[in-house]
Structure 1
Amino acid sequence: MIRCLLLASFAAAALSVPAPASAAEDEPVIREIDVRPAAPVVGAEDSVRLVIDVVARGVSGRHGVVVEVEPGAPPGPVLDSRRPVRPPAADEREEGRFPQEGPGEPKSSGSIAATMASRLVTDGWQTWRFLPDKRLNRFYPAGAWTVTVTARGEGGAERTAYASFQLRRETRLAAVKAERDGAGVRVSGRLKRLDPRGYAGFLPFREQRVEILWRRDASDGWERAAEAVTDGQGGFSRIVPGREGGEWRVRYPGNGQQAEDDSKIHQL
């Protein structure tokens, strides 16, 4: 069953942004959707709290902005937001205290409420901050998630915009070794992935391609010396000819559901 987070609105410190010349003053306009962290990764014991800032104007009422967060790709183009996020000034920090929750399996569906307060700026722009009291953890679907923002103005006018992020699960490279073997160097190890069901911490990650990296010393950049594919137990082993010394490490590049990981550096 698809799990969905429905967040109640929380209005926080407002940011001053020039209004588009073509925007009507009485219509809602969504200027930005900033999701932090932009690339959340969940592990075995930790969880991730999203912070979503929506910059809008022409909004009517304390609940004039609604955010829905759910797994799946956006049904339309995402809002193009290029302005960097700045930390709030001393007089712009959000008000109130927010509920805390540890990791655990979420309910199959339901809504999540957050304390709300608001403050407008002189030009009419307002930042609405959404701080859900549920945290993302390994029990939620990995992959693309959609943030749907709906702003409502006076007279019932609405504006909808989308943002997206990838929720990924932690991976781990373990027991990595680099040893001389004949005329080359044997690089071996194991790749593990987070168990999404929670029965174990990490499971063998089979049929995955890992990169074997080499550099002469710390002053040089890393080169891809070879690749290897993990077996049914997540193990890999590869002899790399022609390089007897230097520094070695293994990298798993990750994908849309699994996070990347780098092993520690081994020096020969």
Structure 2
Amino acid sequence: MIRCLLLASFAAAALSVPAPASAAEDEPVIREIDVRPAAPVVGAEDSVRLVIDVVARGVSGRHGVVVEVEPGAPPGPVLDSRRPVRPPAADEREEGRFPQDGPGEPKSSGSIAATMASRLVTDGWQTWRFLPDKRLNRFYPAGTWTVTVTARGEGGAERTEYASFQLRRETRLAAVKAERDAAGVRVSGRLKRLDPRGYAGFLPFREQRVEILWRRDASDGWERAAEAVTDGQGGFSRTVPGREGGEWRVRYPGNGQQAEDDSKIHQL
């Protein structure tokens, strides 16, 4: 059963900045919400740690910015759909994949601790960094997650903005072959998905569309030569006529919960 888990609920302190010049500038403003990695994928033996940077101004107090991360779609438009987000600098890229603590469901649905670092950007803008120490793994719900950021200013004024990301589970194309036969080239293989319950590493992924790609050589782009649909055991097979040589590979395009995967290249 999918649990609605609160991944993070925490506040942080920021550097003090000069007082704004007008009353309008006293209102808190959130300029950017930068979530990294932007498209997290969890596997069987690893997990993903989020890094969340919030750029804001007009914020007051030690708990001037609060961040909550939880599964589900945002209740309103996301911030980066209305304005461009600053790409993180090279020295700010702290996202990564880490060994997970062990199998089983998340032990707690409460808030988690986080380490924060903040710095003055320019013109009174502050960057608040949140580092949740609970990492996402296969046992958390796949799909859309919401990052809710609330900034509080002097006098109790608040501003709330949203960001979102897709948490997806790893998929694997296995035993892919490309072989000539009398009718053309027969491409076959199996598609597997990560077991979200942790009883097995990967399970057969049935009723999924996979793309069979072809190119003449490495200097050409890939063309979609055919498609196939996996059976109850995750297997697929398709014979493609008219293209006897070249290079072949299979691609699973993924979806909102399952990550894409490409097979190795097979040359005939």
Structure 2 length normalisation: TM-score? 0.86
Change (3 A) 1:260 1:242: same
Deviation per CA, 1:150-198, whole angstroms, max 9, x where unpaired? 0001111000000000000000000000000103000000000000000
Asked if the contact 1:10–1:131 (Cα under 8 Å) also holds between the matched residues in 2, the reply is no
> For the residues of structure 1 that align with 2:140 and 2:132, how far apart are their CA atoms?
15
Deviation per CA, 1:97-155, whole angstroms, max 9, x where unpaired? 99996775313510011134544456221000010010000000000000000000111
Asked if the contact 1:11–1:129 (Cα under 8 Å) also holds between the matched residues in 2, the reply is no
Asked if the contact 1:206–1:231 (Cα under 8 Å) also holds between the matched residues in 2, the reply is yes
Change (3 A) 1:35 1:123: same
Change (3 A) 1:10 1:75: closer
Change (3 A) 1:145 1:19: farther
> For the residues of structure 2 that align with 1:213 and 1:38, how far apart are their CA atoms?
27
Change (3 A) 1:15 1:236: farther
Stretches of structure 1 that go unaligned for 5 or more consecutive residues are none
Asked if the contact 1:9–1:129 (Cα under 8 Å) also holds between the matched residues in 2, the reply is no
> For the residues of structure 1 that align with 2:258 and 2:53, how far apart are their CA atoms?
26
Asked if the contact 1:185–1:241 (Cα under 8 Å) also holds between the matched residues in 2, the reply is yes
Q: CA RMSD in A?
A: 4.2
Deviation per CA, 1:81-105, whole angstroms, max 9, x where unpaired? 7888778889999999999967753
| Identical counterparts, % of pairs | 98
Structure 1 length normalisation: TM-score? 0.86
SS of 1:48's equivalent in the other structure is strand
Stretches of structure 2 that go unaligned for 5 or more consecutive residues are none
Change (3 A) 1:7 1:17: farther
> For the residues of structure 2 that align with 1:265 and 1:170, how far apart are their CA atoms?
20
> For the residues of structure 2 that align with 1:97 and 1:43, how far apart are their CA atoms?
9
Shift of 1:62: 1.4
Asked if the contact 2:32–2:85 (Cα under 8 Å) also holds between the matched residues in 1, the reply is no
Deviation per CA, 1:23-69, whole angstroms, max 9, x where unpaired? 92211100000000000000000100000100000111111100000
> For the residues of structure 2 that align with 1:210 and 1:159, how far apart are their CA atoms?
44
Asked if the contact 2:59–2:65 (Cα under 8 Å) also holds between the matched residues in 1, the reply is yes
> For the residues of structure 2 that align with 1:27 and 1:229, how far apart are their CA atoms?
54
Q: Which has the higher strand share?
A: 2
> For the residues of structure 2 that align with 1:161 and 1:236, how far apart are their CA atoms?
44
> For the residues of structure 2 that align with 1:96 and 1:245, how far apart are their CA atoms?
40
> 4+ residue runs of structure 1 moved beyond 4 angstroms?
1-23, 81-104
SS of 1:80's equivalent in the other structure is helix
SS of 2:24's equivalent in the other structure is coil
